[in-house]
Amino acid sequence: MTFTSFYFGMDGSSSTPFPCTGSGHSFYIGRVGGEVTESSAEFNVATAQAATPAFTSAYWDLGGSTSIPAGLTASQWGQKQAEAFITAIATGPNAIHIQGKTLFCDIEAGNPGWAKSDPALNREILNGFLDVIATLGFVPGVYANLSDFDRYLGASWIATTPFVWWLADWYVALKTCQEAETNFNNFFAGNDTYSRGGYKVMIWQYNGTQGGSPRDLNVTPYNGYLNGHWNPTPAG
């Protein structure tokens, strides 16, 4: 499979200008909290406004197994976090900016609960999270780099609920958007080497130099984002 047109975007506290605005819509994925606490500290309102609400989605820092509160199962902890996330995008201070229907969880070493965590329990947490997001009418997504995904969940693990796979932090020195498009087609579209949880990469966060300085940028195939959400793409 080869894609011919792409959207480019940014996430977190990133500020405009967007890279490659002439190639299609720009998108933004902003952080709105973590575990069970809403936070606007890293949500860039100006970037969301530039992308427009229709192309603004959100992510949430998911807590791992060593942060499970007393009295909750791992699955319940995932469910609680998903419920807090949905409340944040519905009633939080940045709700007006978010119309995108894909809701991503962020899994990485710096988030609470992942150091020395239990992969089996982590999988239960994530399944609980994904299930609630999907049941309440949204499309769940997962953001992680390969090493964290494999360490905390297992490279061969298959999710019980379909999700959009957002691959993070694949550090290559890219200077043009054409390079990003070429790499997406060469590495992610045509094979399953980078697939995880049973799904192909649909968004790639990379280290670019547009705007004169290094920053995290994102690229996605244009037909991966339809009707206000990304679509899970099965591996194989």
Residue 1 placed within a domain: no
179: domain CATH number?
Answer: 3.20.20.80
Task: Give me the phi and psi of 86, to 5 degrees please.
Answer: -65, -35
pLDDT of residue 213: 52
CB 113 within 8 A of CB 78: no
Q: Tell whether 210 is covered by a domain.
A: yes
Is 234 among the domain residues? no
Angle at 216 between CA 234 and CA 19, to 5 degrees: 90
Pairing state between β 26-34 and 56-61: parallel
Asked if the structure places residue 208 within a domain, the reply is: yes
Neighbours of 67 (CB within 10 A): 17
Burial of 189 (0-12, 13-18, 19+ CB in 10 A): middle
Structurally, how many domains does the chain consist of?
Answer: 1
Task: Give the pLDDT score at 226.
Answer: 73
Q: Is 61 a member of any domain?
A: yes
- The answer to whether position 62 is within a domain reads yes
Task: Encode the chain (236 residues) as per-residue pLDDT tens digits.
Answer: 788 889 999 999 988 888 776 666 799 999 999 999 999 999 999 999 999 999 999 999 999 999 999 999 999 999 999 999 999 999 999 999 999 999 999 999 999 999 999 999 999 999 999 999 999 999 999 999 999 999 999 999 999 999 999 999 776 667 788 888 999 999 998 789 999 999 999 999 987 655 555 567 899 998 777 777 899 999 98
Length in residues, the chain: 236
Parent domain of 213: 6-228
Identity at 42, one-letter amino acid code: E
Is residue 38 one of the residues assigned to a domain? yes
Residue 205 located in a structural domain: yes
